[in-house]
Structure 1
Amino acid sequence: MNLALWIVAGLLAAAYLFGGGGKLIMPKEKIAAFGPSAKWVEDFSAGTVKAIGALEVLAAVGLILPAAVDIAPVLVPLAALGLVMIMVGAAITRIRRHEFKFMVVDLVYLALAGFVAWGRFGPESFIG
């Protein structure tokens, strides 16, 4: 179970580091040009898109770094819960925009982040 949690956390960290970093460095118009799955940025200001990117990068770091250096490992499940909240917002945005096909990926990310939060708060906690 511990190995599965590390693998899922690592994959999530890589995905959110890449995705959040892209939101931080690219203008929202360029993000929207990636295709129909990225049109959600049209509903938000450039500052909001950058803030979402910053939160994703922070969560990616929080999924790995605290446990890897054994400093405040309780931040790992908290980072995972943060990602769950981000993905709930993403799913709500998809529902509002009637983009149900793209929402499937958001729900997969939500489930994976929820798995890490559950596992690190519960049976494979770094504390105790």
Structure 2
Amino acid sequence: MVQKGDWKTVDLPEQTAQFVLERTLTNEDLEAIQEGHRPQEMEDKWFMYQEDGRLFLHRSWTGYCIYMVELSQTGKLCVTVNRDPEQYRETDLEQDRLMVEILLNQLIQTNHENAELMKRYMDHKLKK
């Protein structure tokens, strides 16, 4: 199981935004999320760990915390996103919503959903 101390991390800054992600997590999903993710190669951009009922998603190169997801089985996940422009330049909550979905799928091994999500993410990004 991956833990915060396994990587150089920087906590979320005071500048944040929030959104609710509608997604139901099963017990199996929560078990997979609890394992976390430690990058194995340079191309792997995320370090993810679960602590105190929250999933923390950090950029692997900088250690900056980009997302914090309050885990729940209610069908609504509260997500806090970094909005410090020195650490993270994205300002579009829809882009963030799609990225959190992609990263959750990565953790719980539902990569078949990621192809469509990645297409939507890139299409949305190109529209800006």
In the superposition, the TM-score normalised over structure 2's length comes to: 0.33
The structure in which a higher percent of residues are strand is 2
- Larger helix percent: 1
